[in-house]
Amino acid sequence: MTRMFTFGKRIALGFALALVLLALMGMVAYRSTTIVVRASTAVTESHVVLARLAELEGLLVDAGDAGRGYVITGDESFLAPYQTAREELPAVVRQLRAMRADHPRWTERLDAVQAIATEQLEFIEQVIGVRRTEGFDAARKLVAAGEGKHLMA
């Protein structure tokens, strides 16, 4: 049987085996790299989504602070963050929708977040209206009732 494979055939077989192993290792390395790139892209997208969610939360917190600042002082300049939130919030929600449009569960959750954000802004608008029309005490009572705090929680 050893005569069947001459020295030259053994060397050729060794090179062929090495080439096959090298090709298999290359395919495994390519597949692993592809998986890592996909995972990295998903992580990056998740970080962008988390940043947008933090931006949305920051806008709502700033709007609430602005409303309370206006209630306390009666100074219209305190309402600038509230106005910014009203203007920027829809764009942030649209961006979030576009980022995860292919996830139905995400869309449902974002619908809920948007509804709560809208309620929060409407409550702040109500407080501002009460402060303008009925004065400090009426607005203070509305804030003290805790609805705004409940919405943010």
Distance from the Cα of residue 71 to its chain's centroid: 31
Distance between CA 114 and CA 118 in Å, rounded? 6
Which of 129, 145, 5 minimizes the C-alpha distance to 70?
A: 129
Q: What is the pTM of this model?
A: 0.74
Distance between CA 71 and CA 124 in Å, rounded? 10
Contact (Cβ atoms closer than 8 angstroms) between residue 124 and residue 84: no
Q: Is the pLDDT of residue 139 over 80?
A: yes
Which of the two residues, 146 and 57, has the higher pLDDT score? 57
The backbone torsions φ and ψ at residue 17, rounded to the nearest 5 degrees and listed phi first, read -65, -45
Residue 41 structure tokens: 């892209």
Query: What is the per-residue pLDDT across 51-71, written as a single tens digit (0 to 9) for each?
Result: 999 999 999 999 999 999 999
Write b or e for each residue in 63-94: b if 16 or more Cβ atoms lie within 10 A of its Cβ, otherwise e.
bbebbbbbbeeeeeebbebbeebeeebeebbe
pLDDT of residue 122: 94
Percentage with pLDDT > 70 across the chain: 93
pLDDT of residue 152: 65
Contact (Cβ atoms closer than 8 angstroms) between residue 84 and residue 59: yes
Query: What is the per-residue pLDDT across 81-99, written as a single tens digit (0 to 9) for each?
Result: 999 999 999 999 999 989 8
Query: What is the per-residue pLDDT across 113-132, written as a single tens digit (0 to 9) for each?
Result: 999 999 999 999 999 999 99
Predicted confidence band at 80 (pLDDT cuts at 50, 70, 90)? very high
Distance between CA 119 and CA 123 in Å, rounded? 6
